Amino acid sequence: MNNLGILIVWPSILILLGIFSGIARTARVSFRQTRITVSLYLAVLLIFTGAFYLVADAKEAASAQDIQVAEAEAEAMQLQFYAALEKGRLSKLEGIQINGYWNFTYYDDVLYLTTAADQYFEPLVAIERKEINDGKIDVTSYTTSLKFKGDLLGNSPSVRRIDNKLELTNAAQFEMVAFAFTKDWTMQQFSDSSNNWHWNMSSLLGAQAVVIQVPKDLQVEVEVEQGLNLVP
Amino acid sequence: MSFHEPKLLAVCKKQYAYKLKTNLGIFFSLMIVQLLALLLSLNGSASMGAGSSSMVINLKLISGDIIIVFTLIWAFIIGNTVAGNACRLDFSFVSTRLTSNLASVCLLATAALVGGITATLSGVLLRLLVYWFQDVYTNNSLYLAPLTLLSGSYVTALYAFLLSVLGYFFGMLTQRNKALTIVIPVLFLGSLFIEARRAGEVQLLTTIFVFFVRETSMLLFSMKVVCAAALLFATVILFTNRMEVRR
């Protein structure tokens, strides 16, 4: 524990001591009332412990995977995502989700890619050429879904055309709260698997990419060199 | 003068039953403290996060740690309270300081056992509530083996017992000299500040803390707790033996 921790935690504990001391001294109830209340409390705890084992046993039987396997799957999905993106087969990847689609009519010879002012556009950007000159630009945003929240998808980026520029803007930040269980420290002290803080959070964020399909002969220029990550 | 000399064990037993009745309120306060800790734990006892420009994941970790810490604080307080009550109420019938202290330590052991078991079971209740009412990232760590639960209860009870005896020790000290009510917290806080400033040097409080918390053998841990409690208790017996009947 660092010094600041000691200076904050211990005085807080002393304040709690004072509060609990007050509770302990003022909790004057009759013998009978206390006995009934405490017995009820114990009974409730025991009933819930029974319910817990019914639920947890079922979960344990249904899912033999452990947390590392789930994460390995997430990481494998990320790798598959990038491989498919490089081969131009992202739309065929199993489990891939589309969280945004835009199309624009465009007949100029050159298209400039740009990002919103001074912004680094985070999803990878891939440019695919169509086999015909149909005068249309199709933009699709692909993402992997967050498996632990069902098929929940992150927000999509926004894409808009300004004259001969295609402006890409990052999605509005999406904040998600999830819960996970760890053992109590009194259980961890004598357990071999004492440290279960090993989760690789970044693998949970998944992968996101924007694929821009352009007419066969359209020349595409990147206006902001450092502003986006173009897949070769 | 009576020719009937009551046996030590019989007097202790009587006094234990009497103390349990008079201090039954401690179990009521235990319940309040644990329910309060349970409420505070519903939002997670720790958290970790990761994010990109478009997404932030905040993973809250659920465990009974807060409940256990609150229970340990409660244990310290009841040790102190029992010491105070011991000096006021003990001599309603024939007894000695030794029987009074023995009965008190039995009461503290009972309270620690109840505290240890209920703290761990409250942690189970917490898991169940979160599982039912929150978005859970993974269910894989939801399950607790019965043996793990049992060892958790046992260890929590030992910690609670140690802290309650410590509370009893300080309670008895302050009964002997009221000035210690102020001196002990001041010394404790002062040494905390001094230790905080002397990072890297030998630190007494941290060493004591590590002595128990870093122990990985349950047998050794149990022995450490029992020996430390016995040492504190023996000290209490020594300096209270000649105390007046009622102060």
Question: What predicted TM-score, i.e. pTM, was given to this entire model?
Answer: 0.77
3-state helix, strand, coil in chain A (%, to 5): 40, 30, 30
In terms of Cα–Cα distance, which of B54, B44, B122 is closest to A178?
A: B44
Which tokens in the block code for residue A163? 């004259």
pLDDT tier for residue A2 given thresholds of 50, 70 and 90? very low
- Strands of the A121-129 sheet, one edge to the other: A96-105, A136-144, A208-214, A121-129, A228-230
Strands A136-144 and A208-214: antiparallel
Chain A residues within 8 A of B38 when measuring between CB atoms = none
Cβ B225 vs Cβ B161: under 8 Å: yes
Amino acid B72 reads L
Specify the residue for token string 């524990």.
Answer: A1
Nearest CA in chain B to A148: B137
Angle, alpha carbons B158-A56-A199 (nearest 5°): 80
State chain A's mean pLDDT as an integer.
79
| Minimal CA separation from A34 to chain B, in Å | 6
Nearest CA in chain A to B132: A55
Q: DSSP assignment, residue A132? A: S
Is residue A85 helix, strand or coil?
A: helix
Cβ A66 vs Cβ B140: under 8 Å: yes
Which tokens in the block code for residue B216? 């990985």
Strands A158-162 and B46-51: unpaired
Cβ B62 vs Cβ A182: under 8 Å: yes
pLDDT along chain B (247 residues), means of 10: 66 86 85 90 85 79 93 93 73 71 92 95 93 73 86 95 94 83 82 75 79 89 94 88 57
Q: Which residue has the higher pLDDT, A147 or B234?
A: B234
ipTM of this predicted structure: 0.81
B228 contact partners, CB below 8 Å, separation of at least 6: B162, B165, B212
Nearest CA in chain A to B158: A186
How many other C-beta atoms can be found within 10 angstroms of the C-beta atom of residue A37? 14
Is residue A151 helix, strand or coil?
A: strand
Chain A residues within 8 A of B56 when measuring between CB atoms = 173-176
- Output the pLDDT for position B89: 62
Interface check A47 vs B, CB under 8 A: no
Q: DSSP assignment, residue A223? A: S
Interface check A37 vs B, CB under 8 A: yes
B151 contact partners, CB below 8 Å, separation of at least 6: A186, A187, A190, B218
Task: Give me the DSSP letters along chain B.
Answer: --S----HHHHHHHHHHHHHHHTTHHHHHHHHHHHHHHHHHTT-SEEEEEE-SSEEEEEEEE-SHHHHHHHHHHHHHHHHHHHHHHHHHGGGSS--HHHHHHHHHHHHHHHHHHHHHHHHHHHHHHHHHHHHHS-BS-STTT---HHHHHHHHHHHHHHHHHHHHHHHHHHHHHHH-TTHHHHHHHHHHHHHHHHHHSTTS--HHHHHHHHHHT---HHHHHHHHHHHHHHHHHHHHHHHTT--S--
Cβ A202 vs Cβ A70: under 8 Å: no
Cα–Cα distance, A190 to B217 (Å, whole number): 7
Q: Which residue has the higher pLDDT, A18 or A131?
A: A131
Chain A residues within 8 A of B48 when measuring between CB atoms = 197, 199, 201
Nearest CA in chain A to B148: A187
Backbone angles phi and psi of B155, in degrees to 5: -65, -40
**Which of A41-55, A212-226, B130-144 has the largest mean confidence?**
A41-55
| Minimal CA separation from B3 to chain A, in Å | 35
- Output the pLDDT for position A230: 83
Cα–Cα distance, B79 to B173 (Å, whole number): 12
Interface check A15 vs B, CB under 8 A: no
pLDDT in tens, A69-118: 556 666 777 788 888 888 888 888 887 888 899 999 988 889 999 988 77
- Strands of the A110-115 sheet, one edge to the other: A158-162, A165-169, A110-115, A219-222
- Output the pLDDT for position A195: 47
- Output the pLDDT for position A147: 59
Cα–Cα distance, B171 to A21 (Å, whole number): 12
**Best B59, B163, B182, B194 residue to mutate vs chain A (most A CBs within 10 Å):** B59
Cβ B105 vs Cβ B230: under 8 Å: no
pLDDT in tens, A187-218: 888 876 544 545 566 666 778 899 999 998 89
- Output the pLDDT for position A137: 93
Cα–Cα distance, A38 to B23 (Å, whole number): 13
Mean pLDDT (whole number) for A40-69: 76
Task: Say yes or no for a CB contact (<8 Å) between B28 and A37.
Answer: yes
